[in-house]
Structure formats: C-alpha cells, structure tokens
Structure 1
Amino acid sequence: MWLNASCTLEFQIPVATPFLLMLRPRSGWQQWIAREEYLFSPSVPAVEFTDSFGNLCQRVVAPAGHFSVRTSVDIETADASDAAPGAPFIEVQQLPDDTLPFLRPSRYCESDRFTEIAASITKGEAPGYDQCAAIVEYIRRNVPYTPGEGQEIISAAEVKQRGSGVCRDLTHLGIACCRALSIPARMVVGYLEGLEPMDLHAWFEAYVGNRWYTFDPTCSDLKGGRVAIAFGRDAADVAIYTQFGDPVELLDMRVNVKQIERTTR
C-alpha cells in the first residue's frame, strides 16, 4: 500500500537554539520512499548525519521567534506486519553482532529487574516468538493504554508500578521483558495508519527466527501500514526532536497518515 505521512512542529524560540531532529524515515526492505519534503520556516542550514543505530539525524540552529518544521513522505509499505508464531529463539552466541546492543538493560528498559516476571508470563510458551506474543498479550490485558496522558518519559519499572501508560511506556515494558529472556528487542518510533487519536506512534521489534518481527502492545492485531522513522534501545535514543539550552515552547504538533494512489510522474 501507499501512504502519505506528514508531521508539523511549531515552536516559539526565545533565543537562537540548537536542535537535533530525527524525522526522516529510511528506505529499506520493509518500506520504500518515493517522495519526500522537509521544510524549515524560516529556512535555516541543516547538517545531516547517521547515528549509531542507522537513523538519519539533522542538526539545525533555530532562530529566535516562531519556527516550524514540516516533513512529508509518500512511502510504500505493507498493509500489515508479519507474524510468525513458532519462530525460534536464537541462542545469544548465534546472534548477529548488531543485535547485541538491544539485549542489555538500558535507561528506560531495566531488563535486569524483569527476569522473574518475564519467566512467569511466558511459562509454558515455546522459546522465541511465542514468548514475545505472550508478553504483548499480558500487557494488553493488564496495563491499560491511555493515549494522550503521558508527557514525561517513564521506565518499564515505573510503568509496572503505575499500571497504565501511553504507547511509548507499554513498549518499554515489552522490551524489558523480552530482553530479560535474552531476546534482543528494540524500540521503533514512526507512523501507523488508522491510529486513533492520530499521533506519532511507538512499538517494538524482537529478534527471533533470524529476523526482526513487529510487536505492538497497544493494538489488537498487526494490521495497518507502518512507517518506521527511528530505532533505538528505548525512548532516549529515538526522540523526534531534542532541544539544547533555554527551554522552548512547542506551540503545536500535527501528524497525518492517509492512504494514497501512487502514479508514475
């Protein structure tokens, strides 16, 4: 399917302020970008680099006053994510090197504190995909998804204590439980077609059966086109913008995802 996905951020900047942005998805085996627009108003120079996780990042200095960022992409992606019940657990010594950063505890995914609960949740499940699916089902049944309520980033342990969370929080909990079972798991931030209310979305991928598979504790199934923007160990690695220096005011954030007909032009 073809999607158009766009995000607009509007800020009020008190003084010239450095920003680190992460708003450009990459083409890959799961998605293909045919057209892209990335605009700053007022126009400012930007320097792009690729971070250690392969994400495209942009450095800008926003001038004082009103400043906006608008991105838009036409992208081809699947209308549902793959599922693979029974996909096997991969022994740690057999894992590819690039999966290892997603195996250890991180700032918001304290997997070393979830060994017992992860084992309890997945008791009787075949090692690998089925364990991940059991973790997601546990979160869906026991940790209510409360979109729009999470302004502060909280860790997996805090989510477990609080008992509810936004997509980012539930994702942290799923990742921590997977890593506690020695299954690499990484956070993904991007767009999801049909998300209500519409916003940027977070889910996770786990490495089983010799590839990454999508898991989403906030959705009842894996239907809907997904556009991955950034991958990381947790929310600290995938912030769509990071501002340095004096605080700035985010005036507005608008996200839109819609199906389109793609024609040759």
Structure 2
Amino acid sequence: MWMHATCFLDFNIPVATPFLFMLRPRSGWQQWVGREQYVLTPSVPAVEFTDPFGNLCQRLVAPPGQFSVHTSVDIESADFSDTAPGAPFVEVQLLPDETLPFLLPSRYCESDRFSQMASSIVAGWAPGYDQCAAIVDYIRRTTQYTPGAGQEIISACEVNQRSQAVCRDMAHLGIACCRALSIPARMVVGYLEKLQPMDLHAWFEAYVGGRWYTFDPTQDDLQGGRVAIAYGRDAADVAIYTQFGDPVELLGMEVTVERMAAPSY
C-alpha cells in the first residue's frame, strides 16, 4: 500500500544553533520511497551524511528567530509486518557482522542486567522468534502503554520498575531482554498508520531466522503500514533532531500519516 506522511517542526531559536536532523526515510526491502520533500524555513545550507547505522542525517546551523522544518514523503509499505513463529535462533558465530553491535549493552538498553529475567520470561519457548514474542507479551502484560507520558528518556532498567511507559521506553525493555538472550535487537523510529494519538512512533526489530522482524509491545497486532526513518542501538541513536548549545524552544510538532492511491508518476 501507499502512504503519505508528513512531519512539521517549528522552533524559536535564540542564537545561531547547530542541529542534526534524522528525518529522511530510505528505501529498502520493507519500504520504497516514491517521492519526498524537505523544506527549511528560512532556507539555510545543509549537509547530508550517512551514520554508522545507515541513517540519512542532515547537518545545519539554524539562524536566530523562528525556524521550521517540513518534510513529506510518498512511500510504499506493507499492510502488515511480517511474522515468523518458529523462526530459529541464529548462533552468534553465524550472525552477519553488521548485526553484532546490536548484541551489546547500550546507554538505554542494559542487557547485561537482564540475563536472569529474560531467561525466566522465555522459559519453555523455542529459541528465536518465539522467545521475542514471549518478551513482547510480558511487556504488554506488565507495562501500560501511556502515549505522551514520558518526556524524559528512561532506560530498560527504569522501565522495568514502572507500571507505565511510552513506546520508546517499552522498546528499550524489549531490546534489552532480547540481547540478554544473544538475539540482536535494534530500535526503530518512524511512522505508523492509524496511531492514536498521531505522533512519531518507536518499536524494535530482532534478528532471527536470518533476517530482521518487527516487534511492537504497544500494539495488539502488527497491522498497519509502518515507515522506518531511523535505526539504532537505542533512543540515543535515533533522535529525529539533536540540538547543540543553548536550549531552543520547540513551538510545535505535527505528524500526519494517511493512505493514498498508487501514484502515477
């Protein structure tokens, strides 16, 4: 299916401020970018580069005053994310090199502290996809998804001590538990069709059965088109914008995602 997604960010900039944005999805086997637009107001020079995880990053200096970023994309994505019950665990020595960073503890996913807990959660489940599904089910049963409740980024250990969390934090817990079982897991930030309330969304992917599969503790199923914008070890790697220097005020943010007819271009 085809979707049209937009993101609008509006800032009040007190002094010239360096920014790093991560707002451009890239084509891959799960999605195909048909057309996109990226508008900076006022227009300023920007340099794009690719980070170690393959994300498209834009680097610029925003001038003092009101500054806005408006992106839009027409993108083809699946109606339903792939599932693979029974997909086997991949032994570490057989993993592709690029998956290895996603086995290690990271700033917000302290997987070295979850070995015992993760083993308890997946007891009796076949190694691989079924273990990841058991972890997701555990998070859904023990943590209430509360959109908009978490302005401060918290780690998997902190999430595990609370009864409610936002999508980003629930993904941290899922990632930490998977890595504790030597299953590569990475965070994804992007768009999700029919998300309520509409916003950017976070979920995670785990590498089992020779490929990455989507897992989302906040949703009852994996129905609905997803658009991945950025991948990383945890939230520190996938911020849609990072600002350096004196704080700036985010005046507003608006995200829209809707289905569209297949384009004729």
TM-score (norm 2): 0.99
Aligned ranges 1:1-265 → 2 under 5 Å:
1-265=1-265
In structure 1, C-alpha distance between the alignment counterparts of 2:246 and 2:105, rounded to whole Å: 31
Write the deviation string for residues 51-75 of structure 1: whole angstroms up to 9, x where unpaired.
Answer: 0000000001000000000000000
Q: Distance in 1 between matches of 2:155 and 2:178?
A: 15
CA distance in 1, matches of 2:118, 2:51: 31
SS in 2 for 1:123: coil
Counterpart of 1:27 in structure 2: which amino acid? S
Name the SS for the 1:40 alignment partner. strand
For 1:224 and 1:162, the matched residues in 2 are separated by 28
* Structure 2: stretches of 5+ with no match in the other structure: none
Following the alignment from structure 2 to structure 1, what is the Cα–Cα distance between the partners of residues 46 and 243? 15
User: Secondary structure of 2:71's partner?
Assistant: strand
| 3-state SS in 1 of match to 2:161 | helix
Inter-partner Cα distance in structure 1 for 2:251 and 2:165? 24
Distance in 2 between residues matched to 1:179 and 1:167, nearest whole Å = 18
Runs (4 or more) in structure 1 with deviation over 3 Å come to none
Which runs of 5 or more structure 1 residues have no equivalent in the other structure? none
User: 2: distance between equivalents of 1:263 and 1:210?
Assistant: 33
1 CA distance for matches of 2:195 and 2:264? 28
Quote how far apart the aligned CAs of 1:163 are.
Answer: 2.3
Deviation at 1:264, TM superposition (A): 1.3
Give, in whole Å, the separation in 1 of the partners of 2:263 and 2:80.
22
Question: How far apart, CA to CA, are the structure 2 residues paired with 1:62 and 1:111?
Answer: 37
Instruction: Tell me by how many angstroms 1:263 deviates.
Output: 2.8
SS of the equivalent of 1:161 reads: coil
Partner of 2:218, secondary structure, is coil
Whole-angstrom distance in 2 between the partners of 1:147 and 1:158: 17
How many Å separate the matches in 1 of 2:264 and 2:39?
24
> What residue identity is the alignment partner of 2:173?
L
Q: Which amino acid aligns with 1:119?
A: S
Distance in 2 between residues matched to 1:20 and 1:11, nearest whole Å = 14
Code of the residue aligned with 1:112 in structure 2: it is: D
Separation (CA, whole Å) in 2 of partners of 1:71 and 1:263: 18
Structure 1 counterpart SS, 2:152: coil
Aligned partner of 1:227: which letter?
V
1-side partners of 2:14 and 2:109: how far apart? 34
Q: Secondary structure at the match of 2:164?
A: coil
The one-letter code of the counterpart of 1:4 is H
Calculate the aligned-residue CA RMSD, in Å.
Answer: 0.5
Deviation at 1:262, TM superposition (A): 1.9
Q: Provide Cα deviations, 1:93-148, integer angstroms capped at 9, x if missing partner.
A: 01000000000000000000000110010000000000000000000011110100
